[in-house]
Amino acid sequence: MLNASGGVIDDLIVYYFTEDFFRLVVNSATREKDLSWITQHAEPFGIEITVRDDLSMIAVQGPNAQAKAATLFNDAQRQAVEGDETVLWRAGGRSVYCHHWFIPVKRAMKLRCPMKKRPISGVRWWKRVLAMWLGARVTRCVWKRA
């Protein structure tokens, strides 16, 4: 997110769905400031901003992200979180990829965060975790595997 001079205000992720629908994921530590700036600049263009506190984001990042993401959930856990509002994105480049899941908070709460030493479906790679992010209102786990 850049100011009028091209200076950085904050980092964010932008997901394109259609010509008139995007999803933005902002830094949870500066969420209120970012939302205020976005809203202020969207209003003159008649752009509607909807805050989605009902969604949770889980991300697996790194060169082994695809393999780790494939083993993340067992069949029962996948069924517990799948639904109309479940979205999976794959992003990245230069052989470093990231898989993002957006799932309803009520479904995300059925999963266990590997950072708490409670591996999901036997996944033991939490010991190699490099980073974790706890969201402002809902605990969200983001882990990075080198």
* pLDDT tens per residue, range 13-48: 888 888 888 888 888 788 899 999 999 999 999 998
Beta strands in the chain (DSSP E): 12-18, 21-26, 55-62, 87-93, 96-104, 142-144
Spatial distance between the Cα atoms of 144 and 63, rounded to a whole number of angstroms: 9
Spatial distance between the Cα atoms of 34 and 49, rounded to a whole number of angstroms: 12
- Of 81-95, 108-122, 127-141, the range with the lowest mean pLDDT is 127-141
> What is the predicted pLDDT for the residue at 136?
30
Spatial distance between the Cα atoms of 26 and 12, rounded to a whole number of angstroms: 5
Q: What average pLDDT does this structure show over 92-115?
A: 66
> What is the predicted pLDDT for the residue at 85?
59
> What is the predicted pLDDT for the residue at 33?
92
pLDDT tens for residues 44-81? Answer: 999 988 888 888 777 777 777 777 777 666 666 666 55
**DSSP character for 142?**
E
Cβ count within 10 A of residue 11: 11
> What is the predicted pLDDT for the residue at 82?
61
> What is the predicted pLDDT for the residue at 41?
92
101 confidence band (pLDDT: 50, 70, 90): confident
Most trustworthy range by pLDDT among 25-29, 73-77, 106-110, 115-119: 25-29
Taking CA atoms, 145 is separated from 47, 52, 94, 136, in Å, by 37, 27, 16, 23
Closest CA to 45 of 23, 20, 27: 20
> What is the predicted pLDDT for the residue at 125?
38
114 confidence band (pLDDT: 50, 70, 90): very low
How far out from the chain centre does Cα 44 lie? 28
Tell me the helices (H) and strands (E) count for the chain, helix number first.
4, 6
The Cα angle at residue 12 between residues 35 and 2, in degrees rounded to 5: 80
Contact assessment for residue 12 and residue 25, using Cβ atoms and an 8 Å cutoff: yes
